[in-house]
Amino acid sequence: MSRVFGVVSRIVFCSYSIALFAQGKPASSDNGTIQRRVLVFDFENETGKVEFDYLSGSIADALADAIKKTGKFRLMNRDDARTNTVADVPPATAATPQNTTAESAKKEPMVIKVHRKDAIKRGHDSGADVVVFGKFSELNGVLLMSAQAYEADTRLLKVSEDILTRSDSEMFNGINELAKKIAESMARELPMFDPVEAELRRQKALRSFSDERDWELQFLAGLPLMTPLYSSDGTLTYDKGFPVNKLSGYSFGLGFWNRAWAKKIFFMPKDARLGVQAKATLTTGNVDMIGANATSLAQGAPVASQFYSAVALMGFPYYQNGRFAAFAEIGGGALYGIISNNSTIIFATTMPGAVVGTSVAYHWPYWSLGVSYRAQVWFLSSYNAFLQQDFLLFAGVRL
């Protein structure tokens, strides 16, 4: 009886072990059903010869066709890759009676530059799973072509192939051979996703970069720091004056940003934005009031101030990592200020000014949260100005 029980126990144990092993084993790559999206960039011409310029697109097209024929990849629009390359076209030499020879009429080669990190980032941002790019060079009638395929989310090199061929009519056979090799290697090293893996990658991608939104409305609140910048007698004077560094309070306001407007201005970099900001600063304090002739009018007098500003801003991105983005901001506008003592207005005036600052924020699909710093120089007159610095927290709604 014990022998029968032992045999049964072994059978149950082996069956359980096999089930655990099968459960933990990853799904076969042959069972994948979701095609990877591939973006193929134009190849970089390193020959220095204009007659080879056409190969930049021809090689990329040949690779794209071969990759598509495997049936395991979905090719993204090649125009997206072409706009992601940088074309350096040297200016043509001006035609003069002295340089109208056939030699001077030669064109300079157009160099397509594809930087690895930039290509991977741009491919990832455009939704590609794989980016393919390469280059070719020529020496003594021998053409060397190389191609690489990188996984966009992991940034790992998955496939690298190269071909040596003659730079005459035989090079087209070499191009086809390179296309065949890169397609076969990609099919082997970059299998299709199964639905579960594809969904996990999609969710991870959504968490790793910020969705593009044209509009953002920001609600700002923070603390101001007001200090004299320059004046003839060490204080700010406007008929009557006060040391503004003794005032304290708070600032709050609204900001509107738009990316679509910035795209229409040719010198604005990618992801730059234009905006406006309206802000109110309310402060109180006890100050020594000084007259225009530097005579003391009151000491420790309680005052209250209200500053209302409106500025136009340009924002330039200088750091981006996933959902984090930092912008440098510059602009100008005007401020309306009111200073009062026991409900008696000391002065009320409008002042022009300039603004510089920076902001850092974390972006979700439809809202953002961040901090910003603003330095604003307001000019009371030709000889009097003050600096208002604001340290602000903001929450944004992205539309």
Read off the CATH number of the domain in which 94 is found.
Answer: 3.40.50.10070
Q: Which among 156, 186, 208 is the end of a domain?
A: 208
**Residue 4 forms part of a structural domain:** no
- Per residue in 7-54, pLDDT (tens digit) is 444 444 444 343 433 333 333 344 578 899 999 999 999 998 899 999
In a domain? residue 381: yes
Indicate whether 177 and 295 sit together in one domain: no
Kindly state whether residues 163 and 233 are assigned to the same domain.
Answer: no
Do 151 and 273 lie in one domain? The reply is no
Q: Are 33 and 192 within 8 A, CB to CB?
A: yes
Q: Are residues 65 and 188 in the same domain?
A: yes
Task: Please say which residue of 208, 235, 256 terminates a domain.
Answer: 208
Residue 9 placed within a domain: no
**Domain end position, chosen among 153, 183, 208:** 208
Among 175-179, 300-304, 354-358, which stretch is predicted with the lowest mean pLDDT? 300-304
Q: Work out the pLDDT band at 358, boundaries 50, 70, 90.
A: very high
pLDDT higher at 28 or 207: 207
Residue-level pLDDT at 236: 46
**Is 305 inside a domain boundary?**
yes
Whether residues 185 and 258 fall in one domain: no
Q: How many independent structural domains does the chain possess?
A: 2
Single pTM value for the model: 0.54
Q: Is residue 15 part of a domain?
A: no
Beta bridge partners of 149: 132, 159
Strand-pair category, 130-139 with 86-88: unpaired
Do both 245 and 304 map to the same domain?
yes
Q: Is residue 105 located within the same domain as residue 135? A: yes
Say which range, 219-223, 372-376, 378-382, has the weakest mean pLDDT: 378-382
Is pLDDT larger for residue 354 or for residue 84?
Answer: 354
Kindly indicate the confidence band of residue 318, based on its pLDDT and cuts at 50, 70 and 90: very high
Q: What is the per-residue pLDDT for 386?
A: 80
Mean model confidence pLDDT for the chain: 79
SS3 25: coil
On the 0-12 / 13-18 / 19+ scale of CB atoms within 10 A, 21 is exposed
Amino acid at 340: S
Helix (H, G, I), strand (E, B) or coil at 85: coil
pLDDT of residue 285: 83
The answer to whether residue 282 sits within a structural domain is: yes
Tell me whether residue 99 is in a domain. Answer: yes
Q: What does the pLDDT read at residue 379?
A: 85
Among the listed ranges 191-200, 214-223, 386-395, which one has the minimum average pLDDT value? 191-200
pLDDT recorded at residue 258: 94
Mean pLDDT, residues 236-257 taken together: 72
Residues 189 and 239 in one domain: no
The pLDDT of residue 202: 66
Residues 99 and 126 in one domain: yes
Looking at the structure, tell me whether residues 94 and 153 fall in a common domain.
Answer: yes
CA distances 105 to 88, 92, 98, 99, 112, Å, are 18, 9, 12, 8, 22
The residue among 338, 318, 399, 394 whose CA lies nearest residue 362 is 394
- CA 152 to chain CA centroid, nearest Å: 16
Say which residue the tokens 């076209």 belong to.
Answer: 89
The per-residue pLDDT for 96 is 41
CATH number where 268 lies: 2.40.160.20
242 pLDDT band (50/70/90 cuts)? low
- My answer on whether 174 and 316 are in the same domain is no
The whole-number pLDDT of residue 34 equals: 86
Q: Which of 177-191, 228-242, 272-286 has the lowest mean pLDDT?
A: 228-242
19 within a domain of the structure (yes/no) = no
Same domain, 263 and 300: yes
Q: Which of 55, 264, 49, 25 is nearest to 141 (CA)?
A: 49
pLDDT above 90: residue 217: yes
> Given a cut of 50, is residue 85 above it in pLDDT?
no
Domain coverage including residue 307: 215-398
